[in-house]
Amino acid sequence: MNQPHFYEGQKVNFTTNSELYHDIYVAEIKKVYQDRLELALTLHKGYLLLIPIGTVIRWLFPNSNLIPESKVISRQPAQQTWSVSIPAGNTQEKKSRVIAIGSGKGGVGKTTLAINLSLALSELSKRVIILDADIGMANVELLLKLNTPLNLTNVLKGECNLRDILTPSPFGIKLLPGSSGISSLTTLNAIQFNRIISGFADLEDECDIFIIDTGAGISEVVLKFLEAADDLILITTAEPHALMDTYGLTKALAYRNTDLKPQLIINRCETELEAIKCSETFNKAASRFLKLEPELIGWIYDDKRVTKSLKTQKPLYWTYPNSDYSVQVSSIAKKLIGKKQTFDKPSGIVSFINKLKRNFG
């Protein structure tokens, strides 16, 4: 996408890198010079906005992966203007990888996988953030034994920003609690969207992998999150009803987007042969009826210590790194890291949020 165009009379949304000015503001461009933009003094909620010289301005354009930046270089209150440097294109060359994990039904180990996979990726020197996108269910927070009084709902209300709710864990990964705010992403107004997109742009700079633990089942919100991600992982068990539910989820996704490339994980297997047979059966049906070929990227043996880890609220990958479960999760993490990303389509966190906006719009 080309650099957004700036012109006289244009009104543009912006935010800043300052903790004192973290809301979304509107600036009107009075004059475009070769070396600067001259802006009309901004009023915000009835107050005159006098942003200090040197502050970084981040310009926000809906449906764009570009977030150009300027610096405040002068203020002229007498002329009712202020000036910023010519916006420099921020093409987000460093993009996080967005991995969404879904399941056709609850109880197949989706959230447990999301947490332990995050730890395995962190051990591979990746900075990982988990978004708990299960509406109303703070499962990730509970299993990591974290206390998060604020969540995405508070951000959407303008009570805080995304950095305020980003919660570090003792295990080296960070949690972004979604709660009921996830459903609110379907009905964002312009100000709320710009507030969210600005916050996620900040996360792009400090996150290598952004894992989304979606809700179970085939709700509209779940489908939107799964199809907007860079990588789509479906987890199931070898039980016939679990495979059928996962196939139903795959079918719903295929009808909406024929370009999907789902990746499959078989959980709680007794043998490697069982996992391979389940995958072959699943792929045969998906190929014949959905024209999809899900890739089996791993299987995980049934490990009784998983239940214990849930009770103690300590991830198995942390407490038993040499267990069969942890070794297999590590193998999946390495396989994901080893996959070459193609950038023929927009990717990363900012792109993910823009896709959600378009999908829900």
Same domain, 66 and 109: no
φ, ψ dihedrals at 58, nearest 5°: -110, 115
Number of domains present in the structure of the chain: 2
Does residue 1 sit within a domain?
no
Same domain, 349 and 225: yes
Does residue 4 sit within a domain?
no
Identify the CA nearest to 171 among candidates 110, 124, 123: 123
Specify the CATH number for the domain of residue 318. Answer: 3.40.50.300
Q: What is the pLDDT of residue 1?
A: 43
pLDDT in tens, 305-323: 999 999 999 999 999 999 9
Residue 74 or residue 35, greater confidence: 74
Mean pLDDT within 233-240: 95
Q: Which of 55, 85, 115 is the C-terminal boundary of a domain?
A: 85
pLDDT in tens, 121-167: 999 989 999 998 887 677 898 899 898 888 888 888 888 888 889 99
Q: How confident is the model at residue 343 (pLDDT cuts 50, 70, 90)?
A: very low
Same domain, 131 and 24: no
Half-sphere exposure of 37 (CA within 13 A, CB side): 27
Note the residue count of the chain.
361
Q: Which of 51, 85, 119 is the C-terminal boundary of a domain?
A: 85
Does residue 2 sit within a domain?
no
Q: Which of 54, 85, 116 is the C-terminal boundary of a domain?
A: 85
CA 104 vs. chain centroid, Å, equals 20
Same domain, 78 and 155: no
Half-sphere exposure of 322 (CA within 13 A, CB side): 0
Rounded to the nearest integer, the mean pLDDT of the chain is: 86
- Lowest-confidence range among 11-25, 56-70, 80-94? 80-94
Which residues, at least 6 apart from 205, have a Cβ–Cβ distance to it below 8 Å? 94
Same domain, 158 and 33: no
Same domain, 74 and 151: no
Same domain, 75 and 126: no
Helix axes 240-256, 220-228, angle to 10 degrees: 70
pLDDT in tens, 156-192: 888 888 888 999 999 999 999 887 667 667 666 666 7
Does residue 211 sit within a domain?
yes
pLDDT in tens, 10-49: 999 888 888 788 778 899 999 998 788 999 998 888 888 8
| Structural domain that includes position 288 | 97-360
Same domain, 32 and 121: no
pLDDT in tens, 267-287: 999 999 999 999 999 999 999
First to last CA, the chain: 20
Does residue 346 sit within a domain?
yes
Q: How confident is the model at residue 230 (pLDDT cuts 50, 70, 90)?
A: very high
Does residue 6 sit within a domain?
no
User: Is the pLDDT reported for residue 342 higher than 70?
Assistant: no
Q: What is the pLDDT of residue 187?
A: 67
Same domain, 58 and 157: no
Same domain, 192 and 123: yes
Same domain, 109 and 58: no
Q: For a pLDDT cut of 90, what percent of the chain falls above it?
A: 49
Identify the CA nearest to 104 among candidates 229, 253, 227: 253
Same domain, 308 and 237: yes
